[in-house]
Amino acid sequence: MDRHSQTLNLLINYLKRNGFPDNAISIEWGTKRKWVVDLAIMAKEYDTPVSIFEIRALKSQESIKRGIDSLKRAVTLLELTVSCYIVFCNKTGDDVEIFNVTDNVYNGTNIDFNNFNNPEFTCEVINFEAMQLGIEAKSREHNKQIQEKKQEKLDRYCFWLLPFYCIIVMLLDWLKIYTITYERLLVHGAFLVLNLLPFFKEISLAGVLLKRNPDEEKK
């Protein structure tokens, strides 16, 4: 077994010892085309990481820099701020050393490479119960951001696009280019309702109840 695979297995065992369930651990998390980070801790509330881990075989300055660069690429795919870690196998090869580099990833803070080789430097200790509290806070932040974005889109639609659309239709009717009939009003009404549906759980139209796809509500 190569050192990377060995460290990954040790990290998984470490997380399980600290209360992390199997369904919270995602190996080689990333996009559909390729994986981005070696391991991610997933939130139950929504399918996105709350912590990401990059495994490095050696504690060299170049290796650590590459690990942080990889984490920087990963966080660009995420809406929320996540905890970022670099993981090494310890000298005896029976456990992992975990270092929190979140500040380095997001703020470009200078790295003190001596910390990675200093035996007195305290490695990060990760506990599932403590992280779960952070997950709940991130979940509330995530839902708040979603609602704010939906409200922004709804305001733009209602105050700009909808009036503009109605003015164009009435202008075409006045110029006798496009005659408004009862049937066409129904078609236009249905079109407008379908465009509004993503902003509401359900809309009633002429006795017909339209509901949004439940899968869309989770996004």
Q: Which domains does the chain have, with CATH numbers?
A: 3-133 (3.40.1350), 156-217 (no CATH)
Q: What is the maximum span of the chain, computed from C-alpha positions, in angstroms? A: 85
Question: If you search the block for the tokens 């509500």, which residue do you land on?
Answer: 217
Cβ-based neighbours of 184, under 8 Å, separated by 6 or more: none
Residue 185 token pair? 């009003």
pLDDT digits (tens, 9 = 90+) for 158-188: 666 667 777 787 888 888 887 877 777 777 7
Residue 153 token pair? 């889109």
Q: Are the C-beta atoms of residues 61 and 115 closer than 8 Å to each other? A: no
pTM, two decimals, is: 0.62
Give yes or no for residue 142 having a pLDDT over 70: no
pLDDT digits (tens, 9 = 90+) for 22-67: 888 989 887 666 668 899 988 766 577 888 999 998 888 888 889 9
Residue 168 token pair? 């164009």
* Average pLDDT score over the chain: 77
> What are the CA-CA distances from residue 39 to residues 45, 54, 83, 191, 213 (Å)?
18, 7, 12, 44, 31
